[in-house]
């Protein structure tokens, strides 16, 4: 392997490590960094064995991870007995929370679900609190799933690259 090829691998590994860390650290777009690492590798070293189909599969996995991340709080709320209003509050709270940094990302869905359960669904505080616990649980499960998908993205890329 040439020196240029070695540098491409170094850059790819840096993106993959940052992506794995970003799968659990807020504000670091983990799956996106893994996708960019794959994309750069395929673009800079087309002879490496991974092709544009690999990039397409990585893109699909990245989108799935973000969909899971976005909807996991609402699904957790629903599983714990939350109403449609509560789930809508979780989603809306998540969107609004994006504008308020790390605390907003974490607290936005929780507050949104709790408030919507109380005001729009007319539920008691105990029911709204249970739904909020479901939201937190769903967000935690979503984080674990995002980490698993990120690992699968790296494994798929390495399989495609090293198996040829």
The tens digit of pLDDT for each residue in 121-145 reads 999 999 999 999 999 999 999 999 9
Instruction: Give the confidence band of 1 by pLDDT, cuts at 50, 70, 90.
Output: low
Torsion of CA 65, 141, 19, 163, to 10 degrees: -70
**DSSP assignment, residue 98?**
G
Ranking 2-11, 53-62, 96-105 by mean pLDDT, the lowest is 2-11
Q: Which domain holds residue 38?
A: 3-162
113 and 86 in contact (C-beta within 8 Å)?
A: yes
42 compared with 49, residue with greater pLDDT: 42
The count of domains in the chain is 1
Percentage of residues of the chain with pLDDT beyond 70: 98
Tell me the whole-structure pTM to 2 decimals.
Answer: 0.86
Q: What's the rounded Cα separation, in Å, for the pair 93 and 134? A: 15
> Collapsing DSSP states into helix, strand and coil, what is residue 146?
helix
Backbone φ, ψ for residue 152 (5° rounding): -65, -35
């Amino acid at each position: 392997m040439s020196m240029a090829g070695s540098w491409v691998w170094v850059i790819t590994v840096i993106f993959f490590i940052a992506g794995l860390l970003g799968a659990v650290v807020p504000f670091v777009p983990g799956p996106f960094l893994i996708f960019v690492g794959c994309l750069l590798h395929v673009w800079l070293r087309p002879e490496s064995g991974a092709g544009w189909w690999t990039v397409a599969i990585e893109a699909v996995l990245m989108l799935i991870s973000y969909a899971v991340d976005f909807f996991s709080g609402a699904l957790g709320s629903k599983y714990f007995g939350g109403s449609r209003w509560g789930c809508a509050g979780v989603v809306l709270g998540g969107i609004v929370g994006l504008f308020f940094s790390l605390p907003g990302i974490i607290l936005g869905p929780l507050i949104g679900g709790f408030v919507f359960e109380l005001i729009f669904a007319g539920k008691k505080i105990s029911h709204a609190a249970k739904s909020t616990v479901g939201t937190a649980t769903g967000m935690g499960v979503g984080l674990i799933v995002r980490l698993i998908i990120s690992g699968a993205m790296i494994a798929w890329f390495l399989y495609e690259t090293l198996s040829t």
